Structure 1
Amino acid sequence: MKILLIGASGTIGQAVAKALSNEHQVIAANYSGGDVNVDLGNKTSIQAMLDNVGKVDAIVSTAGLANFAPLAELSDADYELALANKLMGQVNLLRLGQNYLNDNGSVTFTSGILSREPMQGSAVIAMANGALESYVKAAALELDNVRINTVSPIFVKETMAMMGMDTEGGLSADDTAKAYVAAVTGSMTGETLDAPEYV
């Protein structure tokens, strides 16, 4: 399969690229570097990326920006970033990308555990994640010849270690990548794949 991977330079993205590239052609899309560049928060940039890459069998997003901050300190800009990038950036990958998918192609988003297990400071991230999961469930009802799913990672051990956190409750990027492989190569649609279930 020819797979377009957005966020390929990130911690999860690198692991997904490695897991998929054994058997598939992976085109790496990043804000800078990679095979093609894209600003996920810019619809015109997404369109240009798709025009550049052409037809693919799958689109996978491991990208999406949103800020941690206490509820009382969240600014308009914090909400706008989560909505424009983490949420609509990925939604636009389907809206525009479905025209570039081969028959029975798939789109895979990234949400996250904070939609169902929030923590203090996670309000805008939880909002975007929950919206993505609901969107996928509803959009799948109306899509023909396109599968759409979202992967919900828990905290990644490598990121936790970098932040000086205890990594015991996390999941490695390589193990997290297994859920993305399942989404791309499986037959499910309209699903949220909880990463720990695919280890």
Structure 2
Amino acid sequence: MRIVIIGGNGTIGKKVSAHFSKNNEVIIAARNDGDACVDISDSKSIEAMFDKIGNIDAIICIAGEAKWKSFDELTEDEYYIGLKSKLMGQVNLVRIGRKYLNPNGSITLTTGILADEPVVLTASAAMVNGAIHSFVKAVVLEIDNGARINVVSSGVVEDAYEKYQDYFPGHNPIPMHKVVNGYVKSVQGKINGEIIRIYD
């Protein structure tokens, strides 16, 4: 398969890219360093990326940002960071990317445990993750060409646990191989419109 992985150089992206690179052609897309350049908060940048790389069998997005800040301090503009990047960035990857997706291809988006189990400082991030879950369940009712769309939603991964453990008291770090398998399930399986939760 020919797979583009947006965010393929990140903490999770590196492991996912390494796995799929064993038997597939993997194109890593990132803001700064990768095989292709993309800023998912800009739909024109997404279009330019797909114009460059051409048709694809699978799209995986492990990118997007949202502001972590107390609810009392979050400004309207700071909410728009998550809405424009993680939410609309992934929506636009589906909206634009499906035109470049080969028949029976797949699109895999990424959220996280905050959609179901938010913690403090995550009013914006939790909202965005939940919206993506609803979007995926709705868009599969209309998408054509045999395309499948799923979302991988993970807890705090082992490789980032030390950095984030204070925000997630009592949460178990998720082994990286479990997270990678979530993406494998989405890309190589037949499921569609699913939220692949990896929380324990």
Amino acid of the structure 1 residue aligned with 2:103: D
Paired residues, what number? 197
More deviation, 161-170/53-62: 161-170
Contact 1:41 1:84 in 2 (8 A): yes
What corresponds to 1:11 in structure 2?
11
TM-score normalised by the chain length of structure 1:
0.94
Superposed, 1:40-189 pairs within 5 Å as 40-144=40-144, 145-163=146-164, 165=166, 169-189=172-192
Q: Report the 3-state secondary structure (helix = DSSP H, G, I; strand = E; otherwise coil) of the residue aligned with 2:98.
A: helix
Instruction: Sort the Cα spacing of 1:167 and 1:6 in 2 relative to 1 into closer, same or farther, 3 A.
Output: farther
Distance 1:157 1:16 in 2: 14
List per-residue Cα deviations over 1:13-62 (Å, max 9, x = no partner): 00110111111111000111110010010101000000000000000000
Alignment-mate amino acid for residue 191 of structure 2: M
SS at match of 1:171: coil
Partner of 1:38: 38
Q: Determine helix, strand or coil for the equivalent of 2:140.
A: helix
- Structure 1 residue 177 displacement after superposition: 1.2
State the SS of the aligned residue for 2:173: coil
Cα shift at 1:196: 4.6
Q: What letter corresponds to residue 81 of structure 2 in structure 1? A: L
Q: CA RMSD in A?
A: 1.6
Q: Is the 8 A contact 2:83 2:128 kept in 1?
A: yes
Please tell me whether the aligned partners of residues 140 and 190 of structure 1 are also in contact (alpha carbons under 8 angstroms).
Answer: yes
Contact 2:156–2:164 under 8 Å retained in 1 = no
TM-score (norm 2): 0.94
Question: 1:168 deviation in Å?
Answer: 6.8
The one-letter code matched in structure 2 to 1:148 is: I
Match of 2:27 in 1: 27
SS at match of 1:68: coil
Q: Which runs of 5+ in 1 are unaligned?
A: none
Deviation (angstroms), 1:112: 0.8
